């Protein structure tokens, strides 16, 4: 069986689902190649205001806002016991005229809301068989599924993750590396109010990051040695509660860890290029790194926005080759700089090398003491080239424009 579509989106996770909806929003016929996920994702994602704007434009934000929590303060605390310790650094959204930097959203309800929207779109045809191969010509890309279905499209977005079949099929190589870390992911309740504040503790094993959820609940990403994972998961719940509270210096009081704790190995990846022929890489297909600084999915959603914009500016998916050239150029600096920055900070946490510790502590001290530098870091952390006229998270659903 052979089918024709304007654009194919490969990958059924958060990035692929958003990409399919964004393409359909342009009026394009979308082939969505998305086998059901093997694992129910219990993580949360901190989405910044630009990403919230995108969810609003796609009609998703109103449904997930009630289960999300605003991020009004983001702070970094040095939780190491080393000789050189950095001072606390706090970033306030109000300093850059925002009500909130963004929102922390549980992945499960976000994913479910995206699936409902995809099912309701007349422009998206879903295929649940996995991709097994692809070939490109000057005029089209042909994708072959496991059941023999062949799908022809003018363009393709590869959103099928770190082990992407489509990326490999079109011949894009990647550089990848791993860290001696795994991330334990869990949610917990706490006695004291979090005041819409996310706290990233820097420890010798990596980040220990609390991010607010609605009410007196928070999510936690805890970097540990891989060999510690099974031991920690075997602890009685009371011991785990005590350990989490102690590592947070009781800033939220007594805690109670909820069920469904998951562990994820930490690694990084960056593609040698972000598109070739008629295919563009979005999300973790093109870049991946540890959960530091709320950059991961935000970077992936920016991929999607620029991929769709490049196709539209080129004249539509039939002009994908021209769009790919522009997309490669546009994404290079953003992706490489953020991948390098997160990698450097993570390695600085793990390293006991004194000059590295001086660099880390000195950098954070400068952010704490120098107001203009802190403002620049916040603006560039939100999005490159800080948009002066963009929507705040609170105005996203109404479409108001405000000056920043």
pLDDT at residue 356, as a whole number: 57
| More reliable by pLDDT, 88 or 113 | 113
Q: Is 245 exposed, middle or buried (0-12, 13-18, 19+ CB in 10 A)?
A: buried
pLDDT band at 1 (very low <50, low <70, confident <90, very high): low
| pLDDT at 399 > cutoff 90 | no
Question: Residue with structure tokens 């928070």?
Answer: 218
C-alpha 94: how far from chain center: 23
| pLDDT at 391 > cutoff 50 | no
Enumerate the H helices of 218-319 as residue ranges. 229-233, 237-247, 296-314
Q: How many residues does the chain have?
A: 404
pLDDT band at 275 (very low <50, low <70, confident <90, very high): very high
Token pair of 286, please?
């093109």
Going by C-alpha positions, the residue among 334, 319, 321, 245 that lies closest to residue 280 is 321
Kindly report, residue by residue over 44-101, the tens digit of the pLDDT: 999 988 999 999 999 999 999 999 999 999 998 887 666 566 678 888 999 888 899 9
Within 13 Å and on the Cβ side, how many CA atoms surround 203?
17
**DSSP string of 24-67?**
HHTT--EEEE-PPPSS----EEEEEHHHHHHHHHTT-HHHHGGG
| pLDDT at 302 > cutoff 60 | yes
Token pair of 119, please?
């099912």
Which of 29-38, 153-162, 378-387 has the weakest average pLDDT?
A: 378-387
Kindly report, residue by residue over 153-162, the tens digit of the pLDDT: 999 999 999 9
Kindly report, residue by residue over 231-256, the tens digit of the pLDDT: 999 999 999 999 999 999 999 999 99
pLDDT at residue 403, as a whole number: 29
Q: How far is CA 380 from CA 288, 385, 386, in A?
A: 19, 7, 6
What's the DSSP call for residue 250? T
Q: What are phi and psi of 293, to 5 degrees?
A: 75, 20
Kindly report, residue by residue over 148-191, the tens digit of the pLDDT: 999 999 999 999 999 999 999 999 999 999 999 999 999 999 99
Question: Residue with structure tokens 């009685």?
Answer: 236
pLDDT at residue 359, as a whole number: 60
pLDDT at residue 401, as a whole number: 31
């Amino acid at each position: 069986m052979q089918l024709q579509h304007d654009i194919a989106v490969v990958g059924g996770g958060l990035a692929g689902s958003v990409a399919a909806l964004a393409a359909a929003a342009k009026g394009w016929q979308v082939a969505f190649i998305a086998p059901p996920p093997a694992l129910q994702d219990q993580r949360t994602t901190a989405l910044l205001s630009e990403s919230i704007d995108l969810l609003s434009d796609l009609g998703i934000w109103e449904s997930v806002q009630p289960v999300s929590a605003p991020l009004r303060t983001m702070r970094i605390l040095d939780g190491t016991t080393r000789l050189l310790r950095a001072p606390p650094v706090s970033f306030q959204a109000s300093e850059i005229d925002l009500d909130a930097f963004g929102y922390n959203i549980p992945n499960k309800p976000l994913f479910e809301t995206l699936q409902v929207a995809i099912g309701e779109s007349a422009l998206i045809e879903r295929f649940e068989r996995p991709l097994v191969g692809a070939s490109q010509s000057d005029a089209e890309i042909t994708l072959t599924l496991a059941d023999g279905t062949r799908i022809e499209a003018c363009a393709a977005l590869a959103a099928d993750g770190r082990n992407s079949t489509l990326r490999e099929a079109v011949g894009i190589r990647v550089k990848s590396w791993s860290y001696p870390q795994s991330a334990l992911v869990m949610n917990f309740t706490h006695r004291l109010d979090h005041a819409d504040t996310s706290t990233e503790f820097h420890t010798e094993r990596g980040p220990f990051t609390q991010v607010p959820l609605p009410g007196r609940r928070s999510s936690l990403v805890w970097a540990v040695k891989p060999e510690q994972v099974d031991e920690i998961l075997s602890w009685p719940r009371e011991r785990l509660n005590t350990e989490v509270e102690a590592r947070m210096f009781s800033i939220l009081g007594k805690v109670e860890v909820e069920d469904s704790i998951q562990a994820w190995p930490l690694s990084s990846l960056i593609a040698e290029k972000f598109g070739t022929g008629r295919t563009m890489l979005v999300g973790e297909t093109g870049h991946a790194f540890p959960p530091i600084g709320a950059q991961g999915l935000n970077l992936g959603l920016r991929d999607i926005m620029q991929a769709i914009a490049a196709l539209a500016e080129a004249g539509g998916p039939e002009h994908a080759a021209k769009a790919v050239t522009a997309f490669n150029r546009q994404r290079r600096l953003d992706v490489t700089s953020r991948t390098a920055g997160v990698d450097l900070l993570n390695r600085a946490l793990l390293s006991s090398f004194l000059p590295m510790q001086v660099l880390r502590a000195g950098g954070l001290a400068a952010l704490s003491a120098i107001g203009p530098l802190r403002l620049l870091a916040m603006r560039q952390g939100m999005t490159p080239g800080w948009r002066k006229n963009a929507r705040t998270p609170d105005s996203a659903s109404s479409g108001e424009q405000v000056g920043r």
